[in-house]
Structure 1
């Protein structure tokens, strides 16, 4: 036993290279100012060696009052917080923030005139967030990714063709891939068809409502008042909400055709586009034109990945509160490379 210990002592007496200090994973509150509005966010930094620069991703939320974690009033799926957790496993720094109208940011400079808040303002806010992420001491500025969910994916596409340096990759999770009002009309027609299937509407009533939906979309695009005649009360209320204070935002969002934005991407940009087969809000078929446009832009793969049984919030039947395994696998395959 003594001789064994002596041998160990002899073999370990040689100089050993110093092990770099390990910095534990941590969240850091970030504040950056955009056009007079302090914008609040969370920077998550995975465990890493001191001084090491890591790949990093900006996370962009979906439409409506969706905050940095992917939550809305009375609905807390934690979509973006869970995406940040998933990317941590591949040692990717993430920044997520409260966009206008949400969380600690609120309306900011638009508080006294919310009717002037349009979609380009959200794009500018996201661009400022990207620049903030680029400047963090833990991030590698030429290894940045933009990850967007739903409407945030459309914003990610716009950033991908305009920010400097261009992002190395984009992740488009269940993206808004057609014009806003076309998507709304598609969703409403599907709901009316289901109501007819269940016997709540007869064929003539279905045709009347479908025609009224199309007429409402045309009126909005022509900046005319929407005629609610023939619309169910809930649908009429939806279209009324697209006018007035929200009119400028709806009009400016609807002006963007996502497939057209793909042409500005840097050739070779790696792109992951996911669509869930159980996504009633953004059916896979709505991503067809964008998928073709990305190929024509000569971006890198994997391109579109279909997620069996996955809904718009990245869940499946077996995982109603957390990302489905198919989602986590797609992210890991992409981020782990």
Structure 2
């Protein structure tokens, strides 16, 4: 059973406009017997009001509540999302995924299911907040978090009223890897070498999926390192690769307000892979973001410490319109 522990309650005061001031509240929660930590942001609101509330889900890897993998990777994607949603009067909860934040303890089995259960527990923690309107629950997921958003939608109650799939993983994991490595080979190697490398990658993926030994002989070092990593994390990689996001998307109830974004400069999840996901959803709005990359920046921008692109913010604010204050 999920349990919620309020780690720190910051006093809210009335502003001259008779509104409760905005506040960030640190909380912890339990999933699979492990404690996780995060930040609830409650925007300014009228006393006694109940607010729409969004759970924010990050991309792959040990990503913290702000959307960072410190020290090298700090785009602050989730903290910026929280700020943007707060401007619309929507409260948010963002948390430290396993392997990040104040504790690095991992569950006994690290697979996609463990991360979804952690997200489910975070959702329950958000529902339990005193300011939350449980009838206006939202989930916003970036990259792999977009796929996680679909999985959470199938398992939590109450079901979310809205989902935002931001540059989401929309294919099986290793199909995306094959595409990405193929594009790298075509861009950086002579044609004959690129063809050889793509063939080796395809064979390695087939062997990995069949639970056969993976041979990296002949691969360029970068590709070989990828597959050594996959073998080392085989339980997680197989559990993720088993999921075809459009199949999950078909279970999103009609009437759920869904936003899907694709940036035309996103090389990790390009727009041409998105149609099956959008078609599987009942009434999703696809926002095509011209010149925007996977991290929601204009193409060619530095990854770290950049604002979210205005085109994305426009799409986000349009999606939140039914819940904005």
- TM-score in same-fold range (> 0.5): yes
In structure 1, runs of 5+ residues without a counterpart are 1-18, 196-200
Looking at CA atoms only, which structure, 1 or 2, has the larger radius of gyration?
1
CA contact (8 A) 1:56 1:140 kept: yes
State the Cα distance separating 1:207 from its structure 2 match: 1.2
- Residue deviations 1:222-264, cap 9 Å, x none? 11221112211111011100113x1100000001100000121
Give the secondary structure class of the aligned counterpart of 1:187.
Answer: helix
Classify 1:60/1:75 alpha carbon distance in 2 versus 1 (closer, same or farther; 3 Å).
Answer: same
Moved over 3 A (4+): 317-320
In 2, Cα distance between equivalents of 1:317 and 1:128: 35
Q: Could you say which residue in structure 2 is the equivalent of 1:15?
A: none
How far does residue 318 in structure 1 lie from its aligned partner after superposition? Answer: 8.5
Note if 1:332 corresponds to 2:325: no
User: Partners in 1 of 2:124 and 2:251 — Cα distance?
Assistant: 19
Match of 1:309 in 2: 291
Contact 1:20 1:49 in 2 (8 A): no
CA deviation after TM superposition for structure 1 residue 221, in Å: 0.4
Counterpart Cα distance in 2 of 1:202 and 1:122:
40
Q: Match of 2:44?
A: 47
TM-score for the superposition, normalised by structure 1? 0.87
Cα 1:176/1:317, change in 2 over 3 Å: closer
Does residue 138 of structure 2 align to residue 140 of structure 1?
no
Q: Which among 252, 275, 280 is matched to residue 267 of structure 2?
A: 280
**Aligned with 1:268 (options 243, 249, 255):** 255
TM-score normalised by structure 2 residue count = 0.90
Give me the whole-angstrom Cα distance separating, in 2, the residues matched to 1:251 and 1:149: 21
Counterpart of 1:211 in structure 2 is 199
CA drift at 1:210: 0.6
SS of the equivalent of 1:49 reads coil
- Does residue 187 of structure 1 match 2:173? no
How far does residue 154 in structure 1 lie from its aligned partner after superposition?
A: 0.3
- Number of equivalent positions: 303
* Residue pairs, 1:137-286, within 5 angstroms: 137-195=130-188, 201-244=189-232, 246-286=233-273
1:76 to 67, 74, 77: 74
CA contact (8 A) 1:99 1:106 kept: no
- Cα drift, residue 20 of structure 1: 8.0
Work out the CA distance in 1 between the residues paired with 2:29 and 2:104: 14
Q: Is the 8 A contact 1:276 1:314 kept in 2?
A: yes
Go from structure 1 to structure 2 and tell me whether the alpha carbon gap of 1:254 and 1:226 turns closer, same or farther (over 3 Å shift): same
Q: Give 5+ residue unaligned stretches, structure 2.
A: 1-15
Aligned-residue offset at 1:194: 0.5
Superposed displacement of residue 49, structure 1 = 1.2
CA distance in 1, matches of 2:196, 2:131: 58
Contact 2:265 2:299 survives alignment (8 Å) = no
Using the alignment, how far apart are the partners of 1:107 and 1:253 within structure 2?
21
Distance 1:105 1:270 in 2: 35
C-alpha displacement at 1:265, in angstroms? 1.2
